[in-house]
Amino acid sequence: MPLYRVAKDKLEAVKQTSFIEEKFFERKDLQRLLRADISVIGDDLMVISEEFGEWDESNRRIDLLCLDKQARLVVVEIKRTDDGGHMELQAIRYAAMVSSMTLDQAIAAYAKSLGDQDAEVTARREILEFLELDTTEEAELTDEVRIILVSADFSTEITTSVIWLNRHGIDITCVRLKPYRMNDELLVDVAQIIPLPEAADYEIKVRAQAQEIKKVRSARQEIFRRFWSQFIERSKPKTSLYANRSTSSDHWMSAGIGRGGFSLNASVTEDRARIECYISMGKDSDARNKAAYGALYEKKAEIEQAFGGPLDWQELPTRIGCRICVDIDGGWKTPEADWPALQDQMLVQMMRLESALKGPIQALKM
């Protein structure tokens, strides 16, 4: 579909162009811009390496290697052409080659890309912060490597192949970047075309069901899956925060509060549940995070009055983000018969926290 400009009395089509015509290159331009802001193609991604190629007997390189919030590697392959070439085959090869990568190796790759004096310390801190972990012992990378294909357009051969591969358990997303020329400006229309956003949850559920048939989840993952499944069901009559969420095998579940960099998280450990607002605006955002936290802390009395009780204000000086939270007795080791009471407490506290913080967060001048 064309892109239109709203004129006084009509809609005027904006001229479609091509990256080749605009002399816009893959690595020099598209890759550089996506590395600077990977949220353009996915809001759960962290770039850990560019032109990654640390393997024996091969000179092939991954355009962008990322992590997602589920501790999975994500191979991002970029083309500026209108058909995508054979990028799906290339990306599958890359995914296989990094599938055995460990979390320590991912940290080392990120440290190498940073290149400063304290790169390893910084890389470990930022990756653990992104994954919301305290130590590398708490998690390891899975071998379920995701693939994101980014191109000006995709041939029928590619889209047919990707749909088939997705049905067979390989997680591939196609993102189309279509350029337009409007006077002196180059505009880019970004659209996820596979899977279609409105069908993504369904396709993820189908794929998850197929994967669960093929392998046995660990006992703890199964506990988390059941806990969050019940949590989501119990939330539906009370709040829309989790209305479109599917269950998770992680110890935490996140929801938005209407502003980027601020997330509402519910988490459980063995004997403790926590409801929090976590402030983290991405890479190199430490000063902004602390400034936002400070501005909210100045309204502590007002926020706690709206919440209906005291909150735990954690600036977390050794970490990138900050936290405003409340803890609840009881965790995943609570007898399953008592889960509903615990989940109801968590939901009550989550709704109170959202109500108390939403206005002040929206009002922040940043």
Q: Would you place residue 94 in the very low, low, confident or very high pLDDT band (cuts 50, 70, 90)? A: very high
Which are the contacts of 101, defined by CB distance < 8 A and separation ≥ 6?
Answer: 73, 141
Looking at the chain, the whole-number percentage of residues with pLDDT higher than 70 is 93
Q: Would you place residue 82 in the very low, low, confident or very high pLDDT band (cuts 50, 70, 90)? A: confident
Strand partners, 12: 5
Q: Would you place residue 216 in the very low, low, confident or very high pLDDT band (cuts 50, 70, 90)? A: very low
The C-alpha atoms of residue 240 and residue 253 are separated, in whole angstroms, by: 14
User: Quick one: which of 12, 18, 70 has its CA closest to 45?
Assistant: 70
Question: Is 83 exposed, middle or buried, given 0-12, 13-18 or 19+ CB atoms closer than 10 A?
Answer: middle
Question: Average pLDDT in the 207-219 region?
Answer: 57
Lowest mean pLDDT among 69-83, 124-138, 200-214, 326-340: 200-214
* CATH 3.40.1350.10 intervals, the chain: 12-101+141-202
Mean pLDDT score of the chain: 88
Looking at the domain covering 12-101+141-202, what would its CATH class be?
A: alpha beta
What is the per-residue pLDDT for 307? Answer: 95
Q: Would you place residue 56 in the very low, low, confident or very high pLDDT band (cuts 50, 70, 90)? A: low
Q: Would you place residue 204 in the very low, low, confident or very high pLDDT band (cuts 50, 70, 90)? A: low
Q: Would you place residue 50 in the very low, low, confident or very high pLDDT band (cuts 50, 70, 90)? A: very high
Q: Would you place residue 27 in the very low, low, confident or very high pLDDT band (cuts 50, 70, 90)? A: confident
The C-alpha atoms of residue 114 and residue 240 are separated, in whole angstroms, by: 40
CATH of 217-362, one of 3.30.70, 1.10.3470, 3.30.1460, 1.10.357: 3.30.1460
pLDDT of 210 strictly over 60: no
Which are the contacts of 219, defined by CB distance < 8 A and separation ≥ 6?
Answer: none
Per the listing, tokens 């450990």 go with 269
Single pTM value for the model: 0.57
Lowest mean pLDDT among 67-81, 187-201, 207-221, 317-331: 207-221
The C-alpha atoms of residue 157 and residue 161 are separated, in whole angstroms, by: 6
Q: Where are the beta strands (DSSP E) in 183-321?
A: 185-194, 252-256, 262-268, 272-279, 312-314
Q: Would you place residue 68 in the very low, low, confident or very high pLDDT band (cuts 50, 70, 90)? A: very high
* CATH 3.30.1460 intervals, the chain: 217-362
What is the per-residue pLDDT for 78? Answer: 93
Classified as helix, coil or strand, 296 is: helix
